[in-house]
Amino acid sequence: MIKKDHKNDTDSLLEVVIKDYRAYPEMGIKRCLQCGLCTSNCPAARHSDYDPREMVKMVRDNNPEIMDNPDIWNCFYCYTCGSNCPANNSPCIVNQILRQKILLKGEKNTRIYKFLTYGYSYMDFGVGSIPSDFFDALVADFGQMYVELKINLEDIRHDLGLEDYNLKGKALNEVKSILKSSGFTNRLKKFKECHES
């Protein structure tokens, strides 16, 4: 049976997570023993106040404050947490479900706005590209090397015998078709309208 997005507003946060289609059947959120291994291995926790162990605890405690916690937007879905969890839980997927629930409220969310260009890149070129808002930060971290890479990426790929980075022709049309039929295109448009209204 395919699980659907959160259907019942009276569901506890734990029920919302467990019922979501992203939660695989054996996902062990109920077995979380609060060992903190996820947090100790989480890059986002290392560089911010985000704490996946605490997030899981708040979901289990049905504590709605987790929905207003700006730190949950620091997770970048690397999936390290789940690969180390002794309970076969995935804080990464828990985070995705919470953030999705927040976004479904249809309110403006400055955290997501920067990433809309990532979605538009999928639609236009069939691949995601790093939003331009992060360009200055990447240049600050990697220096001129990053600028050179951006400018010469296609040449470098061709030298390595790789195809163009962006999809073209049939492959691009197939991606566009999938994005449209899955509702992605329409949803992205709604997010954009919401932020620009």
The DSSP secondary-structure symbol of 104 reads T
Instruction: Output 90 or 117, the one with its CB closest to ligand SF4.
Output: 90
> Any idea what DSSP says for residue 180?
H
Ranges within 87-116 binding ligand SF4 (CB under 6 A): 87, 89, 91-92, 95
Q: Does 56 bind ligand SF4 (CB under 6 A)?
A: yes
Q: Which two tokens stand for residue 164?
A: 């163009």
The answer to whether 59 touches 94, Cβ cutoff 8 Å, is yes
Take residue 77 and report the two structure tokens written for it. Answer: 């879905």
Q: Which is nearer to ligand SF4, 63 or 166 (CB)?
A: 63
Q: Which stretch binds ligand SF4 (CB under 6 A): 10-18, 84-92, 120-128, 144-152?
A: 84-92
Binding of ligand SF4 at residue 78 (CB under 6 A)? yes
What CA–CA distances, in Å, run from 100 to 31, 73, 135, 139? 23, 11, 26, 31
With binding defined as CB under 6 A, does residue 43 bind ligand SF4? yes
Place of tokens 């790093």: 130
Single-letter residue type at 51: D
Size of the site for ligand SF4 (CB under 6 A): 27
Where on the chain is the footprint of ligand SF4 (CB under 6 A)?
32-38, 42-44, 52-53, 56, 75-81, 85-87, 89, 91-92, 95
